[in-house]
Amino acid sequence: MLTGPEFGERPACADEDPELFFPESGQVAQISEAKTVCLSCPIRRACLSYALQHGVQGVWGGTTEDERRAMRRGASSRKAVA
């Protein structure tokens, strides 16, 4: 996932199999396991921000693609109302 000095600390996913974070549709147990890794990550917010800005696939920052899509829609709705 995200590594390097621009993100500060080492991500919790660094020692995990990257495939864990790219589950096939409907693999609920794998998604849950990936999100559990993210819960303890020191760069979770930076990871989520990156994912929201770049439209990446998989579990990033403890969220799925569908969850991030909903977050972006919510942000767009709030801007339209303002």
Say how far apart CA 48 and CA 45 lie, in whole Å.
Answer: 5
Confidence of residue 51 (pLDDT cuts 50, 70, 90): very high
**pLDDT above 80: residue 18:** yes
At residue 80 the predicted structure's pLDDT band, cuts being 50, 70 and 90, is low
pLDDT, mean of residues 8-33: 94
How confident is the model over 10-27, as a mean pLDDT? 95
The whole-model pTM stands at: 0.82
Amino acid letter for position 15: D
Question: 9-34 in b/e burial notation, b at 16+ Cβ within 10 A?
Answer: eebbbeeeeeebbebeeeeeebbeeb
Predicted local distance difference test score (pLDDT) of residue 7? 59
